[in-house]
Amino acid sequence: MKKILYISVTAIILSGFIIAVMQVQELFANEKTIQIAMKKSIEEKNKALPIQNINTLKKNIKSKEALLINLNTNQVLYAKEAEKRAYPASLTKLMTVIVALENIPNLQNQVTVPDSIFDYIQQANASIAGFKPNEKVTVEDILYGVMLPSGADASLAIAKYVAGDEKNFVHLMNEKAKELDMDQTHFENVEGLHHDNHYSTAHDLMKLLQYGMKNPTFKEIFSAKQYGVQKTNLRPQGFSFSSTLFNKISPNKKRSFTFVGGKTGYTLESGLSLASVANKKGKTYALITLNAKGAASGEPMHIVDAITLYSAIK
């Protein structure tokens, strides 16, 4: 009898303990759910908030739109009309490279540069990397040709390789823009030539640059100063090209920061633009500048603006 009573009491105590544990687990689960919901709500709120004009550096620049952030903390150090629509020009090619990287598993795949793209390039007077019609090169060669010399020939070649034609590739670019919450961005082409419906903002392009810099291959391409194409079917000796950013800055001039990499852009309608990343005192910064007055062959005000802002960081 005592044994039965003991077992019953033990069972009741155990049952009570199990119920208590379950209640505690449910409480923690509910609390965790609430925390996740609150975090998501805060993130969505922050995502929806427009970036106001900020000038912690007390500097004035020529670019009409700009955004400078600390990549380590996401702190905004400088913002000037960062939500205003502008023409991105060849900063478009940041997206061209990202979409290509995410749709081609092997960068050593061979690409034949289509003969059909060159009449259009010539008529548009677009910048080129220097590939020849029907030249056989690697995907890697093409992507460096998109980024460093800002080649429309490389951009159109990779678009056709990935998606069959430019229109289909542009669709992939716009889908990626939606995925990255680039709500004020729309692409009409892969090379950044002017189109009234081809636009972005400094804020949206910063989202794109931040995303790209998390991809080691993108970062490597973006940061390169020069690149050499090995022998091809048309050029046994190969050839090389270099970065439009690093071509315009003196490598020997001492500065308080170091350029990691960059992508320049220019059309008559867009003015001078630059997406750049720099290191200073152990921290990494990213800057988008758009719509600086000037010409591709004149004083590089977009680069002057970048040097001004990076130099002012304490």
Domains along the chain?
Answer: 53-312 (3.40.710.10)
In whole angstroms, what is the distance from residue 248 CA to residue 237 CA? 27
| Three-class SS state of 279 | strand
pLDDT given at position 17: 54
Instruction: Tell me the two tokens of residue 140.
Output: 């890697």
Instruction: Tell me the two tokens of residue 107.
Output: 């960068």
- Torsions phi, psi of 192, nearest 5? 90, 10
Instruction: Tell me the two tokens of residue 212.
Output: 């790209």
Residues of the chain by 3-state class (helix, strand, coil), percent to 5: 45, 20, 35
In 239-281, which ranges are continuous DSSP H helix? none
- Torsions phi, psi of 165, nearest 5? -160, 170
Q: Are 229 and 108 in contact (CB under 8 A)?
A: no
Q: What is the pLDDT of residues 158-205, one digit of tens each?
A: 999 999 999 999 999 999 999 999 999 999 999 999 999 999 999 999
User: Residues 6 or more apart from 123 whose CB is under 8 A from it?
Assistant: none
In whole angstroms, what is the distance from residue 292 CA to residue 62 CA? 6
Low-confidence ranges of the chain (pLDDT < 50): 2-3, 5-6, 9, 21, 24, 27-28, 31, 34, 38-39, 41-46
Write the CA distances from 274 to 112, 139, 209, 266, integer angstroms.
30, 24, 11, 9
Q: What is the pTM of this model?
A: 0.84
| Three-class SS state of 310 | helix
In whole angstroms, what is the distance from residue 246 CA to residue 260 CA? 10
Which among 68, 81, 80, 74 has a CA at the least distance from the CA of 313? 68
Instruction: Tell me the two tokens of residue 244.
Output: 């439009």
Which among 90, 93, 82, 92 has a CA at the least distance from the CA of 267? 90
pLDDT given at position 297: 78
